[in-house]
Amino acid sequence: MSAPTTITFDGHEIPFLPGQTVGAALTAAGIRSWRTTRVEGRPRGLFCGIGVCFDCLIVADDRPNQRACLLLAQNGMRLASQEGTGRAHLTV
C-alpha cells in the first residue's frame, strides 16, 4: 500500500502523483493561478514551466518565492497563495 499523497493549498487538500511538481499538481486540480503581481495585483501561475521566468512563485511551508514548476510535491507540504513579494510583513 502506497503512502497517501496530498499537499494543501490555502487549506484545501490536493492530491499528487509521485514525482509531480507542485505546479503540475495544482494545475491538474484545476488551479491555474496562485500568485498576484507586486504592482498591479494581477493573477499568475505557470508560464514557462521550466524554472526560468519566475512567474509561478508560491509560498511553500512558509517560504515565499518558491518556483512551483520546479518544486517537487511532498506529502503534507503546505502551500499558500503569494501576494506580491510574499514578504509584506517586512515592510518598514
90 counts as binding other proteins under rule CB under 8 A:
yes
Out of 6, 20, 36, 65, the residue judged to bind other proteins by CB under 8 A: 65
Residue 42 CB burial class (10 angstroms; 0-12, 13-18, ≥19): exposed
Q: Please report whether residue 48 would count as binding other proteins according to CB under 8 A.
A: no
The grid coordinates of residue 87 equal: 514578504
Full strand arrangement of the beta sheet holding 43-44: 43-44, 35-36, 82-83
- Of 12, 32, 38, 78, the residue at the interface with other proteins (CB under 8 A) is 38
Residues at the site binding other proteins, with contacts judged by CB under 8 A: 38, 65, 84-85, 87-88, 90-92
